[in-house]
Structure 1
Amino acid sequence: MRVSIEQLTDGNWSSGFDAGEVEDLNPADEGDVIGTISLAGPDAARHALDSAAAAFHRWRRTPLVERGAILARAADLLRDRAEAIAADITRENGKLLVEARVEVAKSADFLDYYAGVGRLSYGDLLDDGRPGTQVFSRREPIGVIVAIAPWNDPILTPARKLSPALIAGNTVVAKPSIQTPLALQHFARALHDAGLPAGVLNTVHTSNDTMASAVLADPRVSGVTVTGSTATGFALEKLLAGRSVRFQAEMGGKNPAVVLPDADLDLTVRTIAAAAYAQAGQRCTATSRVLVHRQVQDEFLDRMAEAAAAHRPGPGNAAGSTMGPLISRAHQRSVLEHVQRAQLQGAKVLTGGEAPTADGTGAGCFVAPAVVAGVTEEMSLWRDEVFGPVLAVSTIDDLDEAIAKANDTAYGLSAAIFTGSLAATHRFIEEVDAGQISVNLPTSGWDVHHPFGGFKDSGSAFKEQGLDGLRFYTRTKTAAIGHGGSW
């Protein structure tokens, strides 16, 4: 069944634009066309920005408690509509239905969390050495935000960005991935139905070129937040260079998990398998490298290969499926090429790494979860982000080597260690150059109130989530009032 794919501009929903059309396909069965996306041209994209700019001064004067009430109502609407939204996410993204349900629930949690922020203080009283002088600081919204969302967490990422942006008093132009437009449509509709004023949130389906020329180049844009590949983040940073525009990027990762000899291997294998293969490995925080101690590597590899081979790739809404497809044929080919290249460079594929065809999976973009052993620092699989269900395994001899290898990457998003040693834990936390550190836990799985973001080529200086997530969307103004003996 085809569905209507619309965008929201100045409080109105519409779908008729003149800059071309793109089909929204089900990656589990590319014969299933979900709908047709009508692309907005420069005029329509600029209209979205005009609407956000016009709404800003009214929205910033709306009391925070009122803003929070709208976000809270939207959270309730997401929960009421959760099954329909999750079904659409599974159909256009491919992830398991259970994974989609968790994503919708987390998105509602973001709205609820930042709704509560509306009742917190947004400034401070400060002392002053001048008699009869009162000084205070206040945090204000920065203006119009452009939010660019990826396809892998198509409703969670907008929730992570839009919730703090809106509670802080900013207005937003949001662009979803052209591969998963329905998720943002559901999120925007919940806010719209909850009473968000016209123009405060606008969505736009358009090409990257039109977005750059008609929206990002406009001097009314105050901030740009993006989640995507490192190449995308750096390209946007270059595009905005030389302008007073805030930039926030959550980019790629090559996340290591270290396994020491004293690790609980039952827990370790179970946890790493979930972190590597959930969402078909299409998460920036997915475990993609394992650095296993030589003393336990053989047993670990046997168990890890068994855990990977036990997966049953299939449509996300089909009984028995334990891993969904990749997002597209092009991405499927890219992941398969990574595995083939590793073999040519001398690595050994213990299991997986091929495109399955059983039970109708040939109609979709599936890749069997892979364990690749003997990966060395010279191989591309060690350094390149695969963004698929591929686990590269390397051997270590001690903690010093583990930390050095964990840091031997351009990325710095997330890292994990599996050990019973408190000393090793604290060294790992202190010395590994990553924004998120886990101990006996997966590299993924951060809650809405936990500050989130990476170092090095994994992200910009601004964190997302929690109270830290408000910093990107606010500026601090300091005021001093002298009363000259009377008020």
Structure 2
Amino acid sequence: MTIGETVLNYVNGEWMPSSSKEVDSSLNPANKGQVVGYIQRSSKEDLNRAAEAADQARHAWRKLSGTARGSYLYKVADLLEQRLAEVAEAMTLEMGKTFEEAKGETARGVAILRYYAGEGMRKVGDVIPSSDSEALMFTTRVPLGVVGVIAPWNFPVAIPVWKIAPALIYGNTVVFKPASETAVTAAKLMSCFHDAKLPPGVINMVTGRGSEIGQAIIDHPSIHGITFTGSNQVGKRVALGALARGAKYQLEMGGKNPVIVADDADLDLAVEATVSGGLRSTGQKCTATSRVIVQSGVYEAFKAKLLDRVKQLRIGDGMDPQTWMGPCASEGQYETVLSYIRKGQEEGATLLYGGDVPDNGGNGYYVKPAVFENVSPDMVIAREEIFGPVLALLKVDSIADALALANDTEFGLSASIFTKNIGYMLTFIQDMDAGLVRINAESAGVELQAPFGGMKQSSSHSREQGQAAIEFYTSIKTVFVKS
């Protein structure tokens, strides 16, 4: 499809209009007057059609060898790589991240597809000694069946791919609901699957509102597993709905991710990682740095370096190669970020820099990165996920105090520390309640071959990516054979 067209549903190997005939506009957040595309407001009827197609296709798909399924994923990867710039441009136009970031994310999607294509050649079970000397006992893994994929707008290629690729390689079929804000990008991704000629019904996409299509996925009896990334509020609805009908579910939700800067840290490294981890993609990452916990001995020096670096950042249209940070992804997200900045000021935090609209922000959802200090742990900006370019500085006297403060949150997704002290490192690794901990590196780094997921309210305690993905997308079957 080209920019400005209507995104059709992809069901049973065909592009299809929705039954409702209603559409919503996908607007360019850098230029509110530009319509990137029109997104069908599909109905439950459309979702039912996709689920039925996936259910009918799953039996033949699971009978293919892992190698055969992998060959399709290799083809999709090649097509996505050939269309990398096109897909990345759509992403930048739809949700605002810079073109370089969008290209990097699309390239990551290519790598994920190839990684899971290779998984088709790996073992899926173990031989277990039997108490009967004349018997053979082993385990194998079987697919869930149909998997519903509900993906967010902030990583419209990487997150759907890291859900869809393992689902397919392990023998499941898929019903995919993309975020409406980035459905044009999703359609370009889906066209790669279509052109790779996967059998009809193996992968399906239905656009629409979460209250309609997302809920229909949660409720549908033919959808055996649901993988969701998004807000905690919606994630709990997914969990309750899946639990009620016995479907398997996997949730990746919010974060309030800390970085600890010890008094022996390389401050230049810590500043660069804090800025990158907290403000790239306009802070719209679940792993983005939000709380910056700094030991008092280096607090003033770190603050000065941080402010100097933040003031250098160029804000603008993501398609401009000079832009470092683009706009918020939508009007709703823009208003949310501004409301948190106002709340921080109302509660008594000191706004050191930013938080207002830049001079070039007249036709887009631009916000200058905000840096607060004098933030107390009970303030809203220190407790709730903002999902925007807001950093809260907190001063502590010791690493023990820093860890206690870092853990004082309902979330537990990612965290990082900057120090040269091996004792601090080991204590941080042991005591930090987060699913991803990083030493002398930004909080937002996630590698595709490693398990990813959170603790506490950040996750359903399952893990995505890497070989850990097999745990969600399959069930273990124990086999006992005796002649």
TM range (shorter): over 0.9
**Counterpart code for 1:461:** H
Instruction: Report the counterpart of residue 288 of structure 1 in structure 2.
Output: 290
Q: Structure 1 residue 416 and structure 2 residue 426: aligned? A: no
What SS does the corresponding residue of 2:127 show, helix, strand or coil? strand
**Counterpart code for 2:60:** R
**For residues 99 and 31 of structure 1, what CA distance do their matches in structure 2 show?**
23
TM-score, length basis structure 2: 0.98
Instruction: Report the counterpart of residue 472 of structure 1 in structure 2.
Output: 472
**For residues 433 and 290 of structure 1, what CA distance do their matches in structure 2 show?**
16
What SS does the corresponding residue of 2:7 show, helix, strand or coil? coil
Instruction: Report the counterpart of residue 186 of structure 2 in structure 1.
Output: 184
What SS does the corresponding residue of 1:231 show, helix, strand or coil? helix
Aligned partners of 1:19 and 1:41 also within 8 Å: no
Q: Structure 1 residue 403 and structure 2 residue 423: aligned? A: no
**For residues 482 and 284 of structure 1, what CA distance do their matches in structure 2 show?**
50
Bigger drift between 399-408 and 227-236 goes to: 227-236
Bigger drift between 35-44 and 115-124 goes to: 35-44
Shift of residue 127 of structure 1? 1.1
Shift of residue 16 of structure 1? 4.7
Instruction: Report the counterpart of residue 78 of structure 2 in structure 1.
Output: 76
Equivalence map 1:23-422=2 (5 Å): 23-211=25-213, 214-356=216-358, 358-359=359-360, 361-422=361-422
What SS does the corresponding residue of 2:287 show, helix, strand or coil? coil
What SS does the corresponding residue of 1:372 show, helix, strand or coil? strand
Equivalence map 1:423-462=2 (5 Å): 423-462=423-462
**For residues 45 and 57 of structure 1, what CA distance do their matches in structure 2 show?**
20
Aligned partners of 2:351 and 2:371 also within 8 Å: yes
**For residues 153 and 353 of structure 2, what CA distance do their matches in structure 1 show?**
27
Shift of residue 207 of structure 1? 2.4
Consecutive unaligned residues of structure 2, counting only runs of 5 or more, are none
Structure 1 residues 288 and 128: alpha-carbon distance in aligned structure 2, compared to 1, 3 A threshold: same
**For residues 209 and 354 of structure 1, what CA distance do their matches in structure 2 show?**
32
What SS does the corresponding residue of 1:280 show, helix, strand or coil? helix
Aligned partners of 1:88 and 1:183 also within 8 Å: yes
Shift of residue 191 of structure 1? 1.6
**For residues 262 and 336 of structure 1, what CA distance do their matches in structure 2 show?**
35
Aligned partners of 2:150 and 2:214 also within 8 Å: no
**For residues 65 and 21 of structure 1, what CA distance do their matches in structure 2 show?**
40
**Counterpart code for 1:482:** K
Bigger drift between 288-297 and 203-212 goes to: 203-212
Bigger drift between 151-160 and 118-127 goes to: 118-127
**For residues 406 and 201 of structure 2, what CA distance do their matches in structure 1 show?**
45
Structure 1 residues 319 and 209: alpha-carbon distance in aligned structure 2, compared to 1, 3 A threshold: closer
Aligned partners of 1:451 and 1:466 also within 8 Å: yes
**For residues 307 and 226 of structure 1, what CA distance do their matches in structure 2 show?**
35
Shift of residue 309 of structure 1? 1.3
Paired positions, count: 481
Aligned partners of 1:45 and 1:210 also within 8 Å: no
Consecutive unaligned residues of structure 1, counting only runs of 5 or more, are none
Bigger drift between 167-176 and 316-325 goes to: 316-325
**Counterpart code for 1:190:** C
What SS does the corresponding residue of 1:262 show, helix, strand or coil? coil
What SS does the corresponding residue of 1:480 show, helix, strand or coil? strand
Structure 1 residues 18 and 346: alpha-carbon distance in aligned structure 2, compared to 1, 3 A threshold: same
**Counterpart code for 1:243:** R
What SS does the corresponding residue of 1:400 show, helix, strand or coil? helix
Give deviations 1:115-146, integer Å, cap 9, x for gaps: 00111111222211112101111011011100
Give deviations 1:239-269, integer Å, cap 9, x for gaps: 2232211110110000000001100001110
What SS does the corresponding residue of 1:67 show, helix, strand or coil? helix
Give deviations 1:80-135, integer Å, cap 9, x for gaps: 10011111100001000000000000001110000001111112222111121011
**For residues 272 and 281 of structure 1, what CA distance do their matches in structure 2 show?**
11
Shift of residue 183 of structure 1? 2.0
Shift of residue 210 of structure 1? 2.5
**For residues 226 and 247 of structure 2, what CA distance do their matches in structure 1 show?**
7
Shift of residue 213 of structure 1? 5.3
Shift of residue 212 of structure 1? 5.0
**For residues 408 and 209 of structure 1, what CA distance do their matches in structure 2 show?**
32
What SS does the corresponding residue of 1:95 show, helix, strand or coil? coil
**Counterpart code for 1:480:** F
Aligned partners of 1:45 and 1:206 also within 8 Å: no
Give deviations 1:174-220, integer Å, cap 9, x for gaps: 00001100222122211221121110000001222322554321221
Give deviations 1:412-436, integer Å, cap 9, x for gaps: 0000000000110000000010000
TM-score, length basis structure 1: 0.97
Aligned partners of 2:19 and 2:45 also within 8 Å: no
Structure 1 residues 318 and 17: alpha-carbon distance in aligned structure 2, compared to 1, 3 A threshold: farther
Aligned partners of 1:223 and 1:247 also within 8 Å: yes
Structure 1 residues 244 and 367: alpha-carbon distance in aligned structure 2, compared to 1, 3 A threshold: same
Query: Share of identical aligned residues, percent?
Result: 37
What SS does the corresponding residue of 2:416 show, helix, strand or coil? strand
Structure 1 residues 159 and 213: alpha-carbon distance in aligned structure 2, compared to 1, 3 A threshold: closer
Aligned partners of 1:435 and 1:453 also within 8 Å: yes
What SS does the corresponding residue of 1:33 show, helix, strand or coil? strand
Bigger drift between 88-97 and 332-341 goes to: 332-341
Give deviations 1:306-326, integer Å, cap 9, x for gaps: 111111110100132110010
Shift of residue 19 of structure 1? 5.2
